[in-house]
Structure 1
């Protein structure tokens, strides 16, 4: 049997797929461990994981930055410092665990750079397809700037000048999506395995949840509204407008609105506001989703055949939102400019069978299930040797 080490950033959407893949590898008798923020890993995967705790960096200081300013912050104050901070702990974990292969998240640069330095086979974990679409192809100066930052980090960590971008392993890339949503990768398509979403079983968490399920027992269509876990108060105005849009149609819709920061203080009677929800367990009871186009939420929604109204805020969200539109599975709004009427009209449209969004969402969901997810990813990793 082999030993696999996952290197992950402190981001829920980047950790969850690795938990599903790691669980499948362990079921097959392999040894599995993670390097990352132990607090986050334990919260998501329980106490049974083999974890090497790692220094981390927070995204909280980003505030309301969007657009180019948010991209600049990500690279200068998160990706590069995170790589620098994680390197000693990744190095120590490799020395202790002695993995046969490393699965390095695209945003945990220390994983791939230290693996190259140690001469260990490494596979890229692409939990979002954004980088594979070459989103900066039309902005060569920005692309060169990012390449320069990565090269500086490579030199600082003592990684060899291999000619490989540490976000795209020459040994292979696990992309947790399918071509039906993302299209053919513009980068490294020849070595990219599109395995679809790797969804861990969350039955236990759903059973423990105190969610008021009776709220969903109605004749209206149920809508989930969420702006994600890392957007904070940035999406507050959009959430209030979305609540108003649902509230104006009590005979048509009910909504569960995820509001960890208390943006919606006085919701309509047909809008249930919750700080957190068991999203995976909740989605099968939904008819549509209004969200920020975070890759996890989009994929989990499409897995259930749900059409989407997206309002991307930053990071990979605009690219993912456009993928949803191009695939026919939903519509895209401008989150800062979306009014109550914009949101209501978009929701009415995606739920109109004649518009085709529901059929497209169902088609993509079927492609996800056929791609194999965690089982297929584990088969690929087990076959590396």
Structure 2
């Protein structure tokens, strides 16, 4: 949801009204307490000029197309652009069958477009510097990461990072794989513990780390965007958001993909020369520590490659470029001009304000 929050904030800053749909607890935490879940009812009530539907939550695209509305895909990972099921035709056919059945249940069978790739436009929050030279149709827009302030706890001990010269690391494996990531997280903490020149912040959302040292700070949550401006390297699971946020700051990642799109994103990182990849199941303390040493070594070229990707991200425009693309679909509003046109972002219920930056 994070990239869409940035895009919504940019649109709201230009005078557009934004509505949200999705899991109630998440949407209300990010977009405010007045947001109401329920995709069809929300779209019909709000009457958006454009629906922005997350690529992984297909109801938005299915409903928008069935109602004859303009809709745009928000691709929060670039994995679908490389056709990840090309080598598995039976799996692809099975998934197509599921989507067709869902179209029948919630959209009356109306529509023919793939709800993951709108023919009106696809916002992809990356650039060629990371994605690589794959062929893309003209309606796929590489806008770069869309970053904005987000809710965060105010009790992070920033003073812990201050003091003598040291390398600062962030170790984060996301929240969805907390149980599976426990052995890797413990190995990372073990490999980095006791290093006099290292201070590492490890995100332990489920309290799975069993031992630590004075140079390791364990936190259940961290203000990641703020922290990334202070770190020298990141150890992560190759989640698209974490990778792009790290590279935006010119920070090289050590990536250990677990599942889903993560192996594809990890491959993009190594192809760009911006980081080191580990096998998640075989990454012990020594391998993790060695990988961190490698990405930090200027001679390896990883840090400069990460900075180059970051420069391409900032040049792409991010949320501003995404807002321009969306406004281009409104014939009565020139891109970048203020207006009161209503633009629904995966909408649901009326939420007449955009997410406030933390």
- TM-score (norm: length of structure 2): 0.88
Whether 1:225 and 2:171 are equivalent positions in the alignment is: yes
Residue in 2 aligned with 1:52?
A: 36
In 1: Cα distance, 2:15 partner to 2:297 partner:
48
In 1: Cα distance, 2:187 partner to 2:11 partner:
44
Whether 1:245 and 2:231 are equivalent positions in the alignment is: no
In 2: Cα distance, 1:185 partner to 1:90 partner:
33
Residue in 1 aligned with 2:338?
A: none
Q: Is the 8 A contact 1:125 1:175 kept in 2?
A: yes
Residue in 1 aligned with 2:356?
A: none
Find runs of 4+ consecutive structure 1 residues off by over 3 angstroms: 158-163
Shift of 1:100: 0.9
**RMSD, aligned CA:** 1.5
More helix by share: 1
Larger relative contact order, structure 1 or 2 (CA cutoff 8 Å, min sep 6): 2
Q: Is the 8 A contact 1:116 1:159 kept in 2?
A: no
| Residues 45 and 98 (structure 1), Cα distance of their counterparts in 2 relative to 1, 3 Å cut | closer
Equivalent pairs counted in the alignment come to 329
Shift of 1:122: 0.5
Residue in 2 aligned with 1:256?
A: 201
Residue in 1 aligned with 2:125?
A: 176
Matches within 5 A, 1:310-329: 310-329=255-274
Q: Which residue, out of 299, 305, 312, partners 1:360?
A: 305
In 2: Cα distance, 1:158 partner to 1:280 partner:
38
Q: Is the 8 A contact 2:225 2:245 kept in 1?
A: yes
Q: Which residue, out of 75, 96, 104, partners 2:45?
A: 96
Q: Which runs of 5+ in 1 are unaligned?
A: 1-14, 54-88
Residue in 1 aligned with 2:8?
A: 22
Residue in 1 aligned with 2:222?
A: 277
Whether 1:124 and 2:73 are equivalent positions in the alignment is: yes
Residue in 1 aligned with 2:339?
A: none
Alignment deviations for residues 254-305 of structure 1 (CA, whole Å, 9 cap, x no partner)? 1000001111132111111111111111111100000001111101100110
In 1: Cα distance, 2:32 partner to 2:130 partner:
31
Tell me, what secondary structure is at the counterpart of 2:21?
A: strand
Residue in 1 aligned with 2:335?
A: none
Q: Is the 8 A contact 1:351 1:358 kept in 2?
A: yes
Residue in 2 aligned with 1:295?
A: 240
Q: Which residue, out of 106, 123, 135, partners 2:84?
A: 135
Q: Is the 8 A contact 1:36 1:51 kept in 2?
A: no
Q: Which runs of 5+ in 2 are unaligned?
A: 331-358
Q: Is the 8 A contact 1:123 1:173 kept in 2?
A: yes
Q: Is the 8 A contact 1:259 1:275 kept in 2?
A: yes
Shift of 1:201: 2.2
